[in-house]
Structure formats: structure tokens, C-alpha cells
Amino acid sequence: MKEFKNLLLIAGTGRNSGKTTFACSIIKKTSEDFAVTGLKISPHFHGGTESLKLLVENDKFNLYEETSPESNKDSSKMLLAGASKVFYIETMDSHIKDAFIAFTKFIEPNTPVVCESPALRNYVIPGVFFIMDNIKNIDKKESILKWKNDAYGVFNTTNDGEKEKLIEKIQFIDGNWHII
């Protein structure tokens, strides 16, 4: 597995686990000092919307750039939070590595990237990794929890105060994510 120290990765055990809210908080804080890139990876093919600019389309994945901060989509929320660019990938987990490599060609090296994706952790080693867990969700992706020992922390929807303190400790220094 290749290491990407400029990648802050947020996985979740299911829907409504707080991934986007956490990502947007990190983007908002970090974008005060850096041009942050947001990345949302979905294992579902929904087809593009008018705010998504198609960059790569093939039988393995679709790669888009989000152009509007005005929709309810997670990628739009990342733009609204202050990301300079946001990309959205639709791919099955088996092709996520190829899709991520294609994405890296659209950003400058050492750019801070905040990414929402559970499956990407199976293929890369991020600079910092978090798992968000909705404790009320009965349909948990248990496959994510195998990575809990590699994560900086597992956070749930009830420990917002702990997440807020943590966000203040997250820093991007010399092309790498750190917890200070």
C-alpha cells in the first residue's frame, strides 16, 4: 500500500455517522491557511448532476469536479466549507485504487486532501485516519471496524465536544497531516 501523508481520510460505519460534518469542520479550519481539496468517494453510480463537471468516465469509475456550493450534496458542502476544489468519484470498491490514482493527477503534490471514503483505506495509507460511527445505525459496515486500531479515533454522533477539541489539534505541516 502506498502512503499519502497529505490525505486525511474519514470513513464511516454507515449513513448519518457525521463524516461530512467532520470533514467540513476540518476543511473550514485548514482553508484559513491552505488551499484544501475535498474528495467524496461513493460506491454508487448516481449519474452526474448539473453542478458536477465530468473529468474522467470509463467502465470502472466516473471522476467529477464539483462546481457549486449550493446543493445538498456532500461535495457541495465541502466547497461551502472553504475547499478550493472538490472532486467526486463514483466507483465500485474493486476499482477505487484506479479512481484515486486518476484523481491525484488533478491536484498538485502535497496539497492537503480531506476525503470521505470507507473503502479507500483498503488501498492507501493516509496521513491521518478517522472512523465515524453512528451508534444508532443497525446496518453498520463492520468491514470498517477492522481498521479501528489504525485510526486516530473512532467517534460517534454523541461525542461532538471531543471532535471539536480534536479539530483544533489537526494541522497540515510541510505536506503532511498531523495531530498536535
pLDDT tens for 63-85 read 999 999 998 899 999 999 999 99
Return the H-helix or E-strand segment holding 22: helix 19-30
Percent of the chain with pLDDT strictly greater than 70 = 93
Task: Using the predicted structure, report yes or no on whether residue 48 has a pLDDT greater than 70.
Answer: no
When pLDDT is cut at 50, 70 and 90, the band that residue 47 belongs to is low
User: In order of start, what are the domains of the chain with their CATH numbers?
Assistant: 2-175 (3.40.50)
Distance CA 75, CA 160 (A): 22
Task: Using the predicted structure, report yes or no on whether residue 159 has a pLDDT greater than 90.
Answer: no
Question: Checking phi first, is residue 47 left (phi over 0); if not, alpha (psi -120 to 50) or beta?
Answer: left
Percent of the chain with pLDDT strictly greater than 90 = 67
pTM value?
0.92
Cα distances (angstroms) measured from residue 133 to each of 60, 127, 148:
29, 20, 11
Give which of 114, 129, 130 is closest to 77, Cα–Cα. 114
Amino acid at 138: I
When pLDDT is cut at 50, 70 and 90, the band that residue 46 belongs to is confident
Distance CA 138, CA 127 (A): 30
Task: Using the predicted structure, report yes or no on whether residue 138 has a pLDDT greater than 60.
Answer: no
pLDDT tens for 93-136 read 899 999 999 999 999 999 999 999 989 999 999 999 998 887 76
Buried/exposed code over 25-56 (b: 16+ C-beta within 10 A; e: otherwise): bbbbbbbeeeebbbbbbbeeeeeeeebbeebb
Taking residues 149-171, report their average pLDDT. 80
Q: What is the mean pLDDT of the chain?
A: 90
Beta strand 2-12 with 85-91 is: unpaired
Output the pLDDT for position 139: 59
When pLDDT is cut at 50, 70 and 90, the band that residue 160 belongs to is low
Cell 479512481, residue?
99
Q: Going along 117-160, which residue ranges are E strands?
A: 124-133, 153-156
